[in-house]
Chain A
Amino acid sequence: MGNVGSEPGVLLEHLFRHQAGRMVAHFARLFGPAHLDLAEETVQDAMLRALQTWPYLGVPENAAAWLFRVAHNSAIDAIRRKRFLVSDEVLAGILRSEDTQVDPLLEEQFRDDELRMIFMCSHPEISREASVALSLKTVSGFSVREIARAFLADEAAVAQRLVRAKRQIRERDLTLEMPHGEELAQRLDSVLEAIYFVFNEGYTAHEGEDLIRRDLCAEALRLGRLVASSSIATPKVHALVALMALQAARLPARVDEAGDLVLLESQDRNRWDRALMGLGFHHFDLSMAGREVSEYHVQAAIAATHARAGDAQSIDWTMIMHLYDQLFVINPSPVIALNRAVAVAKVHGAAAGLALVDQLEHDARLRHYHLLLAVRGHLLRELGRLSEAAQEFSAALELPCSEPERRFLRRQLQACQ
């Protein structure tokens, strides 16, 4: 008898994706980052073996350890077949790593490998776009197709970016050594920016869109927590994790069962993710150490203010308005100005908010931003200027936006007519 009918091992959600990421990071360290392709191949081979074996023998009790062991053996095979030459030192390292299978330190080693990989991906020699793609491919286990889908990019373009990034690694001889001192601080900033970029890409997606985009939020949070749990974590890292967790916690309430957008006032707070909320506040507390107030700190404080309100009526809009003032000083972007206008409207009335929105109207950076028109329409409607409001909503519908947003704008338009 085979294992059919016996209790199958359970596969954790995203186990393959996460294992792929950490194993690639691990073998990239052992082989050296110039052999990143071989590390990826080794891991892919191990997963193929699982696909050829587990359907008959069942999922092994410790699936992650099985994958690691097989990948490890295939790494040794690759070296023995002299597919590439390694120094005695590297070979010894690989052979030694077999002993660590039962070592409780292995988990720690994996995390360290992942961290080094994240930092190498954010090396200044690699462009931002390539760095994000490389990190998702190697640390997060996303495929080229998945990365392309998540960023609405062309597959060939993503593949090209990866090829270029790997060439940069070889030509510039990048290493997995962690930077020190001032360089560490700079690199950490790039790492956090890349993580926040990935989170935002996922966060701005809506229900009904590809699930892969929501996976981006979860992955960004995982990477953020990985950095936050390391010895190089700073209050800024905790601020970013807090911000992401508090925002992600409120995601489930942002759309209803039909996949329609729900306005902040009518969101069902019972649908907030309590565990993420707790995680967010935990890191928010940790972010308070030190003097630095980064953009992440202020964004996290805004998210925390929303999260603290027991119901929509008790949101402290005055606090939120002041936080947006502060945020605008750090980052004077028109999108932040628009958000600030919404807070001002809540505190000082729709007319005051509208005056601020009007100032943004001619900002070229917001020319194709449908939310500018949607906010304007909303404030005009509150002021009873319905026909003007209707014009704004119609104009917003002309601009590119997601399907749930489109339905939302149509409902607003109907309410004005």
Chain B
Amino acid sequence: MPQYMLLLYDNPANWQNLSPEEMQKALEKYMAWTQKPYTKDSKRLGQDAGRVIRRPKGGQARATDGPYSETKEVLGGYYTIEAANYDEAVKLAIEHPHLDYGGTVEVRQVWGT
């Protein structure tokens, strides 16, 4: 079955106003989603750098702050799910609790699967 990556972007500021109890409730929703049979893999990405390396014309390659600093949204991690086709994958992604907490989910097919 084709695999799809769900890229989860979030703005940490969205979480700031949650109480500990609400945070736990949110976590429980996320955990329930990861237990779904179509969820195959999950990876968290580090938040510390978020730098992009470029080589300006004629110059030296150097690392600059990534696009995140402007949008304030960070790619926090990704899930790999299985779905019959792209539309099915989108349907599953729409159920993700990430959206209830102001996050964004991008759906991309893993080519060749």
Contacts and interface: CB of A to CB of B under 8 A. Distances in A.
Determine if chain A interacts with chain B.
yes
Interface of A: 1-5, 8, 11, 14-17, 19-20, 44, 47-48, 50-59, 141-143, 145-146
19 contacts: A2-B44, A8-B35, A17-B19, A17-B24, A19-B20, A44-B16, A47-B20, A48-B15, A51-B26, A52-B12, A52-B77, A54-B31, A55-B8, A55-B77, A56-B43, A56-B76, A141-B19, A141-B21, A143-B19
Contacts of B42: 2-4, 55-57
Interface of A, helix, strand, loop or mixed by DSSP: helix
B44 A16 contact: no
Interface string B20-56: 1111101110110111000111111001000000000
A50 B23 CA distance: 9
A59 B31 contact: yes
A8 B28 CA distance: 11
Q: Which of A5, A52, A54, A55 has the most chain B CB atoms closer than 10 A to its own CB?
A: A55
Interface of B, helix, strand, loop or mixed by DSSP: mixed
A5 B22 CA distance: 24
Nearest to A18: B20
Nearest to B26: A51
Contacts of B76: 52, 56
Interface residues of B, number: 31
A227 B16 CA distance: 32
A48 to B, nearest CB: 5
Interface of B: 8, 10, 12, 15-24, 26-28, 30-31, 33-35, 39-44, 47, 76-77, 79
Contacts of A47: 20, 23
A14 B39 contact: no
A43 to B, nearest CB: 8
B81 to A, nearest CB: 10
Contact of A57 (B8, B16, B24, B44): B44
A71 to B, nearest CB: 12
Contact of A56 (B24, B40, B44): B44
Nearest to B37: A5
B31 A16 contact: no
Contacts of A141: 19-21
A141 B20 CA distance: 7
Nearest to B76: A52
Contacts of B30: 54-55
B38 to A, nearest CB: 11
Contacts of A56: 34, 42-44, 76-77, 79
A51 B102 CA distance: 14
A417 B26 CA distance: 50
A11 B24 contact: yes
Contacts of A19: 20
B21 A58 contact: no
A146 B16 CA distance: 15
A59 B30 CA distance: 11
A2 B43 contact: yes
Contacts of A4: 34-35, 39-42, 79
Q: Which of A20, A44, A51, A145 has the most chain B CB atoms closer than 10 A to its own CB?
A: A51
B100 to A, nearest CB: 13
Contacts of B12: 48, 52
A11 B23 CA distance: 12
A55 B15 contact: no
Contacts of B77: 52, 55-56
Nearest to A1: B41
A50 B30 CA distance: 12
Contacts of B23: 16, 47-48, 50-51
A-B pairs, 9 with minimum CB distance: A143-B19, A56-B44, A55-B30, A2-B42, A16-B20, A16-B24, A20-B20, A56-B42, A56-B77
A17 B31 contact: no
